[in-house]
Amino acid sequence: MAATINKQILLLETPKGKLEESHFRLNEGAIPAIEEGQILVRTKLISLDAANRAWMQGATYRSAVEAGTVMAGGSISEVVESKSKGFAKGDLVFADTGWQEYAALPEKVATKVAPMEPLSHLLSVYGIAGLTAYHGLLDVGKPKAGNTVVVSAAAGAVGSIVGQIAKLKGCHVVGIAGGADKCKLLVDELGFDEAIDYKAESVNKALRTKAPKGVDVYFDNVGGDVLEGVLFNMNDYGRIACCGAVSQYDGAAPAHGPRGIPGLIVVKRLTMQGFILYDFDDQREAALTDLQAWVKDGKIKVREDIMDGIENTPKALIGLLAGTNVGKRMIRV
């Protein structure tokens, strides 16, 4: 191993308001030594996710990221040294390595993955994004053919796949995204039936014409006003799969919740259900088999948004929270 420096991005302080580059610092650390049962990995592709921001706000389904430590984040990495029977040099793994070039990991926190071309698909359609879209839509949202499905952050990593799966299940699909370019992409390239630019029009009003039969399933990535706008258009017995609340991650205190809760939940007999991908771990292989077949048949087009250089990771996350990405954003290290 020629390298002796481990470039890493530290979170300097817990942001109270909007996340800024000044909250981070590039550090040149040492390449860690590993102990028995551990592996040393070199990160290749770091995944950027809205959830990264939520982790800074406090403990969620994982502990909070503490100020002064390496920023947490998942990546595809290559094993460069192993003191574990389960891993050999050259193996590819997915793990929370954090934002750094090298990480020492206990063997149990790394998941071995098979090499593929392009490798980036392991973080997009075959990674957390694709599997979240798959289980959230099919197992939580439970759309039936002919249903109207709405998805927010529709040009993002998860939303772009949700909409395409809903289409191939025979649904009328409406994507909500910010900006005319993204909306055009949804309809022209990804096959959505309709798109709503939430920055330019009222979601509530636009749905009256773009979802004329009402909304049966809403896959919510954003919460806030968009959720409120969709709520008013839900059909009786509609289902809302709560995947995230990106509109509320990058600020100090949580905003007030959407009007219509719980009033509309009651009168329309809606179900709102939160989920996290880990709840579906036992169904992972079946989901991947479906996703691979759909990608191979051209039924799902995979959009990725890859930037280079670990020093750009803070900027990449800040942009993602502002919605500058199209498809799955990642950093090639």
Identify which range of 165-173, 200-208, 241-249, 291-299 contacts a second copy by CB under 8 A: 241-249
Give the Cα separation of 98 and 31 in Å (integer). 14
Query: Minimum Å distance from CB 199 to a second copy?
Result: 20
**269 makes contact with a second copy (CB under 8 A):** yes
If the CB atoms of residues 248 and 312 are measured against a second copy, the closer one turns out to be: 248
Query: Minimum Å distance from CB 246 to a second copy?
Result: 10
If the CB atoms of residues 227 and 318 are measured against a second copy, the closer one turns out to be: 227
Vertex 206: Cα angle to 214 and 138 (nearest 5): 45
Identify which range of 28-36, 178-186, 222-230, 324-332 contacts a second copy by CB under 8 A: 222-230
Query: Minimum Å distance from CB 57 to a second copy?
Result: 9
Query: Minimum Å distance from CB 119 to a second copy?
Result: 29
Residue 120 is given by DSSP the state: G
Give the Cα separation of 289 and 238 in Å (integer). 28
Identify which range of 54-62, 105-113, 167-175, 188-196 contacts a second copy by CB under 8 A: 54-62
Give the Cα separation of 218 and 143 in Å (integer). 9
CB 291 within 8 A of CB 302: no
Identify which range of 36-44, 255-263, 282-290, 313-321 contacts a second copy by CB under 8 A: 255-263
Cβ neighbours, 10 Å, residue 285: 8
**242 makes contact with a second copy (CB under 8 A):** yes
If the CB atoms of residues 129 and 243 are measured against a second copy, the closer one turns out to be: 243
Nearest to 10 by CA among 25, 22, 30: 25
Query: Minimum Å distance from CB 286 to a second copy?
Result: 20
Phi-psi region of 171 (alpha: psi -120 to 50; beta: other; left: phi over 0): beta
Q: Interface mask (CB under 8 A) for a second copy, residues 104-143, using x and -?
A: ----------------------------------------
Cβ neighbours, 10 Å, residue 214: 15
Q: Tell me which of 71, 72, 272, 333 binds a second copy, using CB under 8 A.
A: 272
**252 makes contact with a second copy (CB under 8 A):** no
**265 makes contact with a second copy (CB under 8 A):** yes
Identify which range of 72-80, 154-162, 243-251, 294-302 contacts a second copy by CB under 8 A: 243-251
**256 makes contact with a second copy (CB under 8 A):** yes
**63 makes contact with a second copy (CB under 8 A):** no
| Burial class of 4 by CB neighbour count within 10 A (0 to 12, 13 to 18, 19+) | exposed
Residue position matching structure tokens 């709102």: 272
Give the Cα separation of 196 and 233 in Å (integer). 14
Q: Tokens in use for 101?
A: 């070039």
Distances in Å between the alpha carbon of 269 and those of 15, 25, 197, 227? 38, 49, 28, 16
Query: Minimum Å distance from CB 112 to a second copy?
Result: 27
**68 makes contact with a second copy (CB under 8 A):** no
Query: Minimum Å distance from CB 219 to a second copy?
Result: 12
Within 157-176, the residues that bind a second copy by CB under 8 A are none
What does the chain come to in residues? 333
CB 305 within 8 A of CB 120: no
Q: Tokens in use for 304?
A: 């990725």
| Burial class of 182 by CB neighbour count within 10 A (0 to 12, 13 to 18, 19+) | buried
Binding residues vs a second copy (CB under 8 A): 54, 60-61, 220, 223, 227-228, 242-245, 248, 253-276, 279
